[in-house]
Structure 1
Amino acid sequence: MMPQTEYLDKYARLLVNYCVSLQPGERLFVNSTTLAEPLIDALYRETLKAGGNLEVSLTTRGQAAAMREYGSPEQFAYLPTLQKRAMDEFEAYIYVSAPFDLREPDPSPELKAARREAFKPMHDTYFARTADRRLKRSMCIYPTPALAEEAGMSEKEYTAFVFNACKLNEADPKAAWLGVRDRQQRVVDHLNSCTSFRYLNDRSDIHFTTNGRTWINSDGQTNMPSGEVYTSPEEDSVNGHIYFDYPAIRNGVEVKGVSLEVKDGEIQSWRAESGQEVLDETFAIDGTRRFGEAAIGTNYDIDRFSKQILFDEKIGGTVHMAVGQSYAQAGGRNSSSVHWDMIANMRAGGRVFADGEIIYENGRFVDRLWK
């Protein structure tokens, strides 16, 4: 295994030169915590080499606790000046998830609502500008003790897991991701020739249509790691029921065994084996009772559940659907402050149908699509 500094240099080169393809004179905004300082330093060096300019916002360990204790609704609704300007004007954005603690208590519902309402215009701008890549963005993870503990791994094991999923063990990670792009493009081309889809396994049978929608090849340029193909289904076309085997995590809370019943695009009923109150609270938010995404994970290097959706939604052999916000680049029209992915296992007899034909079985695309 290479020294971690060498991995971080490869990580930064991949993020700057492939994920956001930074060009001379472009501005890159990086948002993270002080735990990610080693990666931020590497990103700064790569930004300079690319001829760009980097600005950064780093959260310290005590900020969240201070806001919970002392923050007023007006302070929770305050929009950070640099972040707002970056979402409005900058050419590139990298969010590096590097949490101190995944078990901090939530602010009160009133404070969360104040922040959600205030941040919605910036949220909408972000989705609009990332849809046409006026804002090139990437989301990634810097391994921290909290993430390792959450995943049930040692720090060393978790770091190796993250780097392997991002293909940093490859001599040329960018070339490896270009290979992913080529393979997934064959799948996407076929999916975009079809309009009717069905996810079927022993606990789910859900179908939707994609007239006027586009399947997207997620090849590592907007998330790192990636490895999925996704679309936004026609909002009123989703019908059936689906069970999500993997825990759905929202605001640090695990919601296990989620079952949804859907009619004409609207989620009619929902239940969870644990965490029902989180579902109830979420489905009271505007736009959350329709689906913003349907997707298929293709990253077989992600071989275990880590409780981090950036990785878990890409697990090879799974499908996922997200309630809430659609992707404009896929043609989606649902609007919400929430985009919550939920994952179903397809490795034990699961099938995906496209225009009535089996294209995916037991966790893999058929050979003619996946070679």
Structure 2
Amino acid sequence: MADVYLQKLARVLVHYSFKLKAGERFVIRAPEVAAPLVRAVYREALRAGAHVYPIIHLDGMREIFFQEANDEQLSYTAPVEQFVTEHFDAGLTIWAEQNTRALTRIDPARLALYKRAHATQINRQMQREAEGAFRWCGTLFPTHAHAQDAGMSLADFEAFVYRAELLDEEDPLAAWQKVHDEQKKLVDFLMQHDEIHVVTPDTDVTYRTGGRKWINCDGRYSMPDGEVFSSPIENSVNGTVRFRYPANRDGNLVEDIRLTFRDGKVIESYASRGLEYLNMMLDRDAGARYLGEVAFGTNYNIQEATGHTLFDEKIGGTMHMALGASIRLTGGMNESADHWDLVCDLHEGKVYADGKLCYENGRFLI
């Protein structure tokens, strides 16, 4: 990614996403391949007066850990991580892979053990977010591996990324403020309704969100952003959903997922590829068969799947549902060691709010 766009992205993250203030503790978690973006954000955060603590992982360390760690090591949480979770004001995660399939041959049970052991820490972070004591945002640094997953050259993928992040706008901060204002109308509308009914040629599902909060994802929770989300009442989800977009989780590709819900719980599952992995994820704990999130993608600068959830869940004209943990900001109560977003195409769909048509062919009608 060209330096000018890295500088723009750093300014957006520091001054819009986080609104960092002098004296705040700010952690950056990233792999070494993302070093150019880390440096740009580090410089901008220091200029804002923050105390910046980078945590950088060397290429291949994650794969080595899951190959070699015993059960005790997989379950261990370092005190420094606990301190960051409890005492820092803001945290940026930068995703960047040299090989997006590096964990494909790792026993999924080992990954599940690690996630279960760290669920308490993740839940504590979400609790602090809900209390307004911690701000988190995630973004991606383009690499050849991510470009290959998206079926693009690196140059084309970089252009796709900065367009999705509105970095080609003259004033990206003002552009994201405009997104905030437009999506606030959607949030205000959805907050006034309870039952949501989604219908496409392959999907017919209802859920309720009455009493839950809808969240305006306007660049403060991820970059790029562009969605509105909530948590469904846990036992309210009924019907069948077909997720046409592929899902890539820990190097495992799952395609054409179809789930049937009864009283909130997945009772039937299908995938044309990766069914064994899907079922293992559904059985990993008591909350894994329930939804922790329901959402609509609203970033119309993203119109093709890349294989990375950060972008695919934002595709304008889609919805996504997350199996597992609820986002505490919404008032959701489902608990799980994981949170897995699955994306459903709504370009030929309709959505009804309390029985009235509010969304058709990929766009809200309000």
Cα offset for 1:32?
Answer: 0.7
Contact 2:302–2:314 (CA<8 Å) still a contact in 1?
Answer: yes
Contact 1:292–1:327 (CA<8 Å) still a contact in 2?
Answer: yes
Q: Give the aligned residue type for 2:75.
A: A
Structure 2 unaligned runs (5+)?
Answer: none
Residue matched to 2:295: 295
Residues 235-314 of structure 1: pairs in structure 2 closer than 5 A: 235-286=234-285, 287-314=287-314
Instruction: Compare 198-207 and 107-116 and name the one that shifted more.
Output: 107-116
Residue matched to 1:14: 12
Contact 1:293–1:321 (CA<8 Å) still a contact in 2?
Answer: yes
Cα offset for 1:80?
Answer: 3.4
The alpha-carbon distance between structure 1 residues 363 and 75, as it changes in their structure 2 partners (threshold 3 A), is: same
Q: Give the aligned residue type for 2:332.
A: G
Residue matched to 2:34: 36
Residue matched to 2:94: 96
Cα offset for 1:125?
Answer: 0.8
SS in 2 for 1:241: strand
The alpha-carbon distance between structure 1 residues 230 and 113, as it changes in their structure 2 partners (threshold 3 A), is: closer
Residue matched to 2:138: 139
Instruction: Compare 153-162 and 249-258 and name the one that shifted more.
Output: 249-258
Contact 2:112–2:284 (CA<8 Å) still a contact in 1?
Answer: no
Residue matched to 1:122: 121
Residue matched to 1:341: 341
Cα offset for 1:106?
Answer: 4.2
SS in 2 for 1:174: helix
Q: Give the aligned residue type for 2:303.
A: D
The alpha-carbon distance between structure 1 residues 69 and 215, as it changes in their structure 2 partners (threshold 3 A), is: closer
Q: Give the aligned residue type for 1:270.
A: S
Report the Cα distance in structure 2 between the residues aligned to 1:186 and 1:66, rounded to whole angstroms. 47
Cα offset for 1:160?
Answer: 0.7
Report the RMSD for the aligned CA atoms in angstroms: 1.3
Aligned length: 364
Q: Give the aligned residue type for 1:314.
A: K
Deviant stretches of 4+, over 4 Å: none
Cα offset for 1:253?
Answer: 1.5
The alpha-carbon distance between structure 1 residues 65 and 295, as it changes in their structure 2 partners (threshold 3 A), is: closer
Instruction: Compare 39-48 and 101-110 and name the one that shifted more.
Output: 101-110
The alpha-carbon distance between structure 1 residues 303 and 73, as it changes in their structure 2 partners (threshold 3 A), is: same
Residues 162-181 of structure 1: pairs in structure 2 closer than 5 A: 162-181=161-180
Cα offset for 1:110?
Answer: 4.5
Identity of aligned residues (%): 38
SS in 1 for 2:192: coil
TM-score of the aligned structures, taking structure 1 as reference length: 0.95
Contact 2:261–2:268 (CA<8 Å) still a contact in 1?
Answer: yes
Residue matched to 2:197: 198
SS in 1 for 2:222: coil
* CA deviation string 1:291-320 (max 9, x = no partner): 111111010001210001011000001111
Report the Cα distance in structure 1 between the residues aligned to 2:3 and 2:120, rounded to whole angstroms. 38
Instruction: Compare 115-124 and 163-172 and name the one that shifted more.
Output: 115-124
Contact 2:292–2:334 (CA<8 Å) still a contact in 1?
Answer: yes
Q: Give the aligned residue type for 1:271.
A: Y
Report the Cα distance in structure 1 between the residues aligned to 2:20 and 2:292, rounded to whole angstroms. 29
Contact 1:73–1:110 (CA<8 Å) still a contact in 2?
Answer: no
Report the Cα distance in structure 1 between the residues aligned to 2:316 and 2:89, rounded to whole angstroms. 32
